[in-house]
Amino acid sequence: MSTVKLSGTFRNASRANFVQIETYRPIPNPYDTKMSYNSTFDPPLTLTNLVSGLTYLVDLTGQTPGEFDLSITGDVVAPIDKTYSNFFEDGLTFTVK
Percent of the chain residues topping a pLDDT of 90: 84
- The total of structural domains in the chain comes to 1
**With 90 as the cut, is the pLDDT of residue 14 above it?**
no
Dihedral pair phi/psi, residue 75, rounded to 5°: -85, 60
Q: What is the CATH number of the domain that holds 48?
A: 2.60.40
Residue 65: cis peptide before it, omega within 30 degrees of 0: no
Label residue 31 by pLDDT band (50, 70, 90): confident
Contacts of 47 (CB under 8 A, 6+ apart): 3, 4, 5, 6, 23, 31, 33, 56
Instruction: Give the pLDDT score at 60.
Output: 96
Question: The domain containing residue 53 runs over which residues?
Answer: 2-95
Q: Let me know: does 76 contact 38? Beta carbons within 8 Å.
A: no
Instruction: Give the pLDDT score at 58.
Output: 96
Instruction: Give the pLDDT score at 29.
Output: 73
The end-to-end CA distance of the chain, in Å, is 10
**With 90 as the cut, is the pLDDT of residue 70 above it?**
yes
Question: How far apart (Å, rounded) are the C-alpha atoms in residues 46 and 5?
Answer: 5
pTM for this one?
0.92
